[in-house]
Amino acid sequence: MVNASSEVLEHTAEVKLRVRAASLGELLGEAGRALAAVELGGLPPAPDGPWRPVEVRSSDRDALLVDWLNELIYLAETERWVPVEFEMETVAPTALRARARGVPVTVTPARVKAATFHGLRIVETPAGLEADVILDV
Amino acid sequence: MPTAEAIVPEQLVHEIPVTTRADMRVPARVFADGELWRQIEGDHSLEQLINVATLRGVSHCVYGMPDLHEGYGFPVGGVAAMRAADGVISPGGVGYDINCGVRLLAADLDAAAAAPELERFVHELSRSIPSGTGRGGRLALTDVELERVLAHGCRALVEQGLATSEDLDATEAHGCLTRADPAAVSQRARGRGRDQLGTLGSGNHFVEVQVVDRIEDAAAARALGLRAGRITVLIHTGSRGLGHQVCTDYVRLMDQAMPRYGITLPDRQLACAPFRSPEGQQYFGAMCAAANFAWANRQVITHRVREVFGRLFGAGGGLRLVYDVAHNMAKLEEHAGGLLVVHRKGATRAFGPKHPETPERYREVGQPVFIPGSMGTASYVMVGTDAALARSFGSACHGAGRVMSRHAAKRVQPGHEVRRELEARGIIVRCPSSGELAEEAPFAYKDVERVVDVVHGAGLARKVARLLPLGVVKG
């Protein structure tokens, strides 16, 4: 088992995230928190307000990570609400149903255009899963 | 079509033969001198360029501009042309910021005369033009208005007094791609873009107030209306959240469609579909609509700049649009009798005097090309050459090009120090985020003088004028 964690790796033009967690659900949640940190420019504050449902369906596990992050980017930009805390209700390699709490913002500080497939990898490790994903900023 | 006759000085071109990797369909060619080549070899951009050379229907050769650097899927500074008849179109070959581009405004006002009001000018620009990503502007569009912008681009703004016919004449494609299909733009994309017309966005987007520091080609400068000592304003932004979502939507669609067309890729971000397929045509229509949104965005910002300029300096100074050119786009173009889908990702169209798409007013000199430097360094005005058609599908680079990651740049120097150094050099800075200022520090970019020398030396475009920054509003 591993405590979920994330770090920013070197990339010439974009933001490359490395995320580690014990399970796919935790990995997706940690990736969501790492995205929020990039969007908000630092450690996300405590969430405010009620839980909201977020659902994603994808063609495979890699696409699920990309689609999940793109859904969170979309919510942040259109609703001025940055999700920072997640509870996974059902997680499968091609579908995710989750609840999220977030931070309402008057001026969306989001700066991420999209999550990409480039350099994307999710690998099994002795402690769980490790993923790399590049964000276009 | 590029031919062996298109001679470029040997020291400025680096060939990657088609035999380098078994899946390459065409060779790759990179324009760079020794130092730029060394920098290019330092990241994954060559591997990305080689990946592009494997795409179905890719024609003749793929090109890397001197500002080439690692992106996602396509490298930034990459040019690839696919045969329209049997080749693919790739949203990743255009990028998320569809029709990101630059436009240059020129004033009949000397920088010396403007100096007392310069700080106010930059400050008022920062107040009038919303900057950060997702930050709405003052022009929230109704459904009908958004539809018109997607279909007609800058032309939709003429009736509202936000654009003039002279502006349209000085914009690539007159600020409107007629192949736009607004119906192919999703509700999600519309939702992201609805209140973003007239906004700058974040990252490397900017409005920069400059002075014409040096004229390199007097005749071409005259044709472009540029005079030493005069004020110019350079605007760099794109299609905002609307374009980002169009790309997201179609990367997903094509990723799922590829098995039907038997397409396999070395990088999933190169997701593509045959240009003539339903998915290819749908994306092309949506991309053209997003491109129209981007031109309208730069036009609305131009209107705001003119308002501020008029208030401070009077209408007499004027702010004439020199040109507006895209650097993230796929265009249908004829090259030596063949119809090609030319993908330019972080690369600028650079047509010469004889090309029919070069604006009438620039037929003596060639289409204007703008190469912004990094924040705090010079930018260049160039003009396209007829030879560039044979050398790079009529393309040149789009900027200096990053050489250092954003993460590393922040470690080298914090934003407040970058701001202090720029201000010590007399450059006025307005940027809402200290962190993003650090990411865009001058040392994070290649030497623009070197990049421009390669473009000029390789005959992709000719130097016309050098511009120096006086003030910058960062996204």
Looking only at the bridges linking them, the beta strands covering B101-110 and B320-326 are antiparallel
Helices (H) and strands (E) in chain B, counts: 15, 18
User: Which residue range is the domain that position A34 belongs to?
Assistant: 5-136
CATH number of the domain residue A123 falls in: 3.55.10.10
Domain count, chain A: 1
d(CA B396, nearest CA chain A) in Å: 19
Mean predicted confidence (pLDDT) in B124-153: 84
Does some domain include residue B420?
no
Q: Is B321 helix (H, G, I), strand (E, B) or coil?
A: strand
Does some domain include residue B66?
yes
CB-closest option in B244, B408, B436 to A10: B408
pLDDT 10s digits, B139-173: 778 999 999 999 999 999 999 999 999 999 999 99
CATH number of the domain residue B247 falls in: 3.90.1860.10
Confidence of residue A109 (pLDDT cuts 50, 70, 90): low
Least CA distance to A11: which residue of chain B?
B405
pLDDT 10s digits, B4-32: 445 788 899 999 999 999 999 999 999 99
pLDDT 10s digits, B400-448: 998 898 888 988 999 999 999 999 999 999 988 888 889 888 899 999 9
Residue B177 is predicted with a pLDDT of: 98
% of chain B surpassing 90 pLDDT: 87
**From CA A42, how far away is CA A1, in angstroms rounded?**
27
Q: Is B138 helix (H, G, I), strand (E, B) or coil?
A: coil
d(CA A105, nearest CA chain B) in Å: 11
Residue B130 is predicted with a pLDDT of: 86
pTM of the predicted model as reported, rounded to 2 decimal places: 0.95
Q: Which two tokens stand for residue B51?
A: 């990946």
Spell out the residues 6+ positions from residue B292 whose beta carbon is closer than 8 angstroms to its own: B149, B150, B151, B152, B153, B154, B175, B176, B177, B180
Residue B2 is predicted with a pLDDT of: 46
d(CA A98, nearest CA chain B) in Å: 20
**From CA B328, how far away is CA B98, in angstroms rounded?**
6
Asked whether residue B93 carries a pLDDT value surpassing 80, the answer given is: yes
**Cα–Cα nearest to B341, from B101, B59, B151, B150:** B59
Asked whether residue B134 carries a pLDDT value surpassing 80, the answer given is: no
pLDDT 10s digits, A55-103: 999 999 999 999 999 999 999 999 989 999 999 999 999 999 999 999 9
8 Å CB contact between B100 and B294: yes
pLDDT 10s digits, A26-57: 999 999 999 999 998 888 889 989 999 999 99
Indicate the residue type of B475: G
Mean predicted confidence (pLDDT) in B63-68: 97
Residue B318 is predicted with a pLDDT of: 85
Give the Å distances, CA to CA, from B449 to A109, B189, B372: 34, 38, 11
Q: Which two tokens stand for residue A83?
A: 């999700």
Domain count, chain B: 1
Burial of B406 (0-12, 13-18, 19+ CB in 10 A): buried
Confidence of residue A105 (pLDDT cuts 50, 70, 90): confident
% of chain B surpassing 70 pLDDT: 97
Asked whether residue B35 carries a pLDDT value surpassing 60, the answer given is: yes
Q: Which of B70, B72, B76, B188 to mutate to test binding with chain A, by most A CBs within 10 Å of its CB?
A: B72
pLDDT 10s digits, B271-318: 999 999 999 999 999 999 999 999 999 999 999 999 999 999 987 668
User: Which residue range is the domain that position B229 belongs to?
Assistant: 10-403+445-474
Contacting residues of B for A74, CB less than 8 Å apart:
188, 191-192, 245
Confidence of residue B137 (pLDDT cuts 50, 70, 90): low
Does some domain include residue B434?
no
Does some domain include residue B410?
no
This complex has an ipTM of 0.94
Confidence of residue A111 (pLDDT cuts 50, 70, 90): confident
8 Å CB contact between B228 and B253: no
B165 vs A: CB within 8 A: no
* Mean pLDDT for all residues in chain B: 94
8 Å CB contact between B308 and B124: yes
Does some domain include residue B408?
no
Which range, of B172-176, B177-181, B333-337, B393-397, averages the lowest pLDDT?
A: B333-337
Contacting residues of B for A114, CB less than 8 Å apart:
96, 244, 247-248
**From CA B270, how far away is CA A45, in angstroms rounded?**
36
B135-143: list long-range contacts, CB under 8 Å, 24+ apart. Answer: B135/A107, B135/A108, B135/B196, B135/B199, B136/B195, B136/B196, B136/B199, B137/B195, B137/B196, B137/B197, B137/B198, B137/B199, B137/B300, B138/B198, B139/B195, B139/B197, B139/B198, B139/B300, B140/B194, B140/B195, B141/B194, B141/B195, B141/B197, B143/B190
Burial of B69 (0-12, 13-18, 19+ CB in 10 A): buried
8 Å CB contact between B104 and B232: yes
**From CA B425, how far away is CA B413, in angstroms rounded?**
17
Query: Within the 68-107 window of chain B, which residues sit less than 8 Å (CB to CB) from chain A?
Result: 69-73, 76, 92, 95-97
Contacting residues of A for B202, CB less than 8 Å apart:
111, 137
8 Å CB contact between B29 and B64: yes
Residue B278 is predicted with a pLDDT of: 98
Q: Is A99 helix (H, G, I), strand (E, B) or coil?
A: strand
pLDDT 10s digits, B358-394: 999 999 999 999 999 988 899 999 999 999 999 999 9
CB-closest option in A13, A63, A80 to B71: A13
Looking only at the bridges linking them, the beta strands covering B206-215 and B230-237 are antiparallel
Q: Which two tokens stand for residue A132?
A: 């790399």
Q: Is B140 helix (H, G, I), strand (E, B) or coil?
A: coil
